[in-house]
Chain A
Amino acid sequence: MSITLIYTVVVLSAIGIVAAIILYYVSQKFMVHEDPRIDQIEEALPSANCGGCGYAGCRAFAEACVAENELSNLFCPVGGNDCMNDIAGILGLEAVQKAPKVAVLRCNGTCDLRPKTNAFDGAKSCTAASALYSGETGCAFGCLGYGDCVDVCDFDALHMNPETGLPEVDDEKCVACGACVDACPKDLFELRKKMPKDRKIYVACRNEDKGAAAKKSCEVACIGCSKCVKECPFDAITMENNLAFIDSDKCKLCRKCVAVCPTGAIIEENFPPRKIKTEKVAEPTSAGPDTTDKA
């Protein structure tokens, strides 16, 4: 009996030693020589593998950093400037500083502001619905509300608000990876420069219809009246295809455009309340949930 035991131990140990030698030999023989800086950079990256940089993952981005050997076209939106500085340190290069960004949804067509004109009954996917037709409401440009953006967000920064039927961005969690921008078939998301105290002013609309048609389909649509363009002291607002756009690089958060917008299409967020009551935006949303349209 003990002989059997000894044999077993000896044979198994022998197999183990032989296998170890083979493994060692193979790992030496076929070792791939890699730039050690790739590993270092990967270490410095946030390992979110979100693809926000345009590469397949953090490893691919690290390889690209080493291969390019200059950082002007490379930026990790998740790690931000700190992370890029670290990478620049590893590579001995100069990092390009970029202003941090945050995603905003350019549609405020909530259930009660934008009446339904038909009822969709198909696969709950924005891409599928938009391939079929323009949407459940009269507005062909607005949010469809099936949450393709929520599905692609790796950072739990997007959530559907069942009351408004619109997704909401969590500024704290959003890293501006841009996944939602690509996922939205209506191109509603924009990555805007992060302002102090997370303040935002933007046109929450993408409707390119003429004024009357836009207004008919949605109460808070941009009707292309150009009042904001005239009002803006910093030339930050442009008008194209009956739609205003505020350039976040030029905007100084003066809020004058918000005051003149006749439909409330321009939204301000995280500002202290004004002394004069001009909060047109808050009114409709506080009108309470609409129960008639949802059935």
Chain B
Amino acid sequence: MNKLLTVSPSPHVKGDESIRKIMYGVVLAMLPAFAMSAMFFGWESVKVTLIAVAASVFFEYVIQKYLMKVKPTVDDGSAIVTGILLAFNVPVGLPVWLIVLGALVAIGVGKMSFGGLGQNPFNPALVGRVFLLISFPVQMTTWAPNKLVADGFSGATPLGLLKEGLKSGKTISEITSQLPNHFDLFWGNMSGSLGEISAVALLLGGLYMLWKKIISWHTPVAVLGTIFIFEGILWLANPERFMDPMFHLFTGGAMLGAIFMATDMVSSPMTRVGQLIFGVGIGIITVLIRNFGAYPEGISFAILIMNAFTPLINAYVKPTRFGRVA
């Protein structure tokens, strides 16, 4: 026989899913939000995103090739996703060297120090973002004005305004006059990080990922649902102290976090029930930080904290076994 037959264990056919498909699917899903941010913040946002992506890919390549001495796998798209997510989480005017530093921490500390793709317990982009936020609070909260509307809401983010207002003893009705209305919030006409502003664009991306089965509905619905319900209770209890729940859904990183960050496969639980618990945890911690903590926004901390709980959730929330003996 001139040609050897291949012998391998079953199954002999393979579905068409792959890491590349998933990662580039996520990139595709982030395009609407990217477009919105380019619209609101101008070319500056494109620049930030490209630098973050380039830096992430560069660091992943260098670390894999020269430090870990393995075949670089930058083409799998995971570094691109991390780069875009990092860019989405920083304000538009961030100096270039800070973006690069953030990418280094995200890829180097958040991902590669644990062994690379699949091994990181925390979402790498959030590790980078939180590092920047804590180390460089001034730069990270210097919000560029929104370019689309002439009298656009410049300066602080809605959540920042809220926090400041409450600190200075104002009531909600007094603060509300300075805040954008709900339609602006939903559309994205406010200041904030690059990618988090437009709820509608993020939702669109989320629907695309649901359709492509990249994510399941459990985590985002649990996060957003919990924020809505918890904030709703607080609002009903004291509408002069707490904002209404819709405001909290559309501001800050709630949408971006729930749809793109909490659903990161590597750092979220495996089972559907686990993902619900994970999402509820994120929601509760976010609400606590937003209303009672020092920072105006807390979803990145909330996701990182729940990332730490993921192994525990995985260990205790098991799938229902077929034919289990009670």
Which positions in A face B, CB cutoff 8 Å?
116-123, 128, 132-133, 136
- List, sorted by A's number, 23 A–B pairs whose CB atoms are closer than 8 Å: A117-B1, A117-B4, A118-B4, A118-B5, A118-B6, A118-B7, A119-B4, A119-B5, A119-B7, A120-B6, A120-B7, A120-B8, A121-B6, A121-B7, A122-B7, A122-B9, A123-B9, A128-B9, A132-B7, A132-B8, A132-B9, A133-B7, A136-B7
Q: Give CA–CA (A122, B1) in the complex, Å.
A: 22
Which of B1, B6, B7, B9 has the most CB atoms of chain A within a 10 A radius of its CB?
Answer: B7
For B5, the chain A residues whose CB sits under 8 A away are 118-119
Distance in angstroms from A114 CB to nearest chain B CB is: 14
Give chain A residues whose Cβ lies under 8 Å from the Cβ of B1. 117
Q: Interface residues of B: mostly helix, strand, loop or mixed?
A: loop
B6 proximity list for chain A (CB < 8 A): 118-121
Q: Which residues of B contact A117 (CB under 8 A)?
A: 1, 4
Interface residues of B in 1-40 (CB under 8 A from A): 1, 4-9
Task: Across the interface, name the chain A residue whose C-beta is closest to B10.
Answer: A132
The answer to whether A116 and B4 have CB atoms under 8 Å apart is yes
A116 to B8 CA separation, bound complex (whole angstroms): 15
- Nearest residue (CB) in B for A120 is B7
Chain B residues numbered 89-120 whose CB sits less than 8 Å from any CB in chain A = none
Q: Is the CB of B8 within 8 A of A121?
A: yes
Q: Cα distance A128–B8 when bound, in Å?
A: 10
Residues of A within 8 A of B7 (CB): 118-122, 132-133, 136
Q: In the docked arrangement, what's the CA distance between A128 and B9, Å?
A: 9
> Does A122 lie within 8 Å of B8, measured CB to CB?
yes
Q: Which residue of B lies closest to A115 (CB)?
A: B4
* A116 to B, closest residue via Cβ: B4
Query: In the complex, what's the smallest C-beta–C-beta distance from B5 to chain A, in angstroms?
Result: 5
Contacts of A119 in B (CB 8 A): 4-7
Residues of A within 8 A of B9 (CB): 122-123, 128, 132
Query: Which 5 A-B residue pairings sit nearest by Cβ, starting from the closest?
Result: A121-B8, A122-B8, A119-B4, A118-B7, A122-B9
Task: Give 1 or 0 for each of B276-304: 1 = CB within 8 Å of chain A CB.
Answer: 00000000000000000000000000000
